[in-house]
């Protein structure tokens, strides 16, 4: 079984043990409740909040994208990184006021399922590629 197909429970337990940390030590380092870590490692919680994964990744010094894949929020590292980038923009401390259309767009994105988010990220990436290709045309060319 590869890291991409291992359940989050196994991945988290292995990472913690490789660092010679107890669940309590990881809880202290990540500011995630020890009980939460326990339920994840026992497979009771299989899709924890993304903010929880971010705190665990920081405390374990691992790429958050790897935990996203283990939690099945994304199927590939590239998609996981794209989702993380979008979610970082959607942080409550972001610069967009609630009246800004981008605020609503990002809030709506967070309500989508992981599969819907992946599809939207793929579609947006294609739109960006097309826009770059259009911009690369000589100024006298027409569409």
Dihedral angle of Cα 49, 55, 60, 65, to the nearest 10 degrees: 60
Angstrom distance (rounded) from CA 143 to CA 132: 14
The predicted model scores a pTM of: 0.59
Considering only residues 11 and 134, tell me which one the structure prediction assigns the higher pLDDT.
11
* Domains of the chain, residue spans: 1-73, 76-143
Neighbour-count burial of 8, counting CB atoms closer than 10 A to its CB (0-12 exposed, 13-18 middle, 19+ buried) = buried
Token pair for residue 143? 């569409």
CA distances from 2 to 46, 70, 80 (A): 17, 10, 16
The per-residue pLDDT for range 2-60, each reduced to its tens digit, is 344 468 999 999 999 999 999 999 999 999 999 999 999 999 988 888 888 888 998 99
CATH code that applies to domain 1-73: 1.10.260.40
- What percent of the chain is modeled with pLDDT above 90? 29
């Amino acid at each position: 079984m590869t890291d991409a197909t291992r359940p989050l429970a196994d991945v988290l337990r292995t990472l913690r043990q490789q660092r010679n940390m107890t669940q309590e030590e990881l809880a202290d380092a990540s500011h995630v409740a020890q009980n939460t870590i326990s339920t994840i490692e026992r497979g009771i919680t299989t899709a924890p909040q993304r903010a929880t994964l971010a705190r665990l990744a920081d405390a374990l010094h691992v790429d958050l994208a790897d935990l996203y894949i283990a939690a099945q929020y994304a199927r590939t590292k590239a998609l996981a990184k794209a989702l993380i980038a979008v979610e970082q923009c959607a942080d409550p401390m972001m610069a967009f006021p609630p009246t800004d259309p981008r605020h609503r767009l990002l809030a709506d994105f967070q309500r989508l399922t992981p599969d819907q988010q992946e599809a939207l990220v793929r579609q947006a990436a294609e739109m960006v590629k097309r826009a770059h290709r259009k911009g690369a045309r000589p100024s006298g060319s027409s569409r």
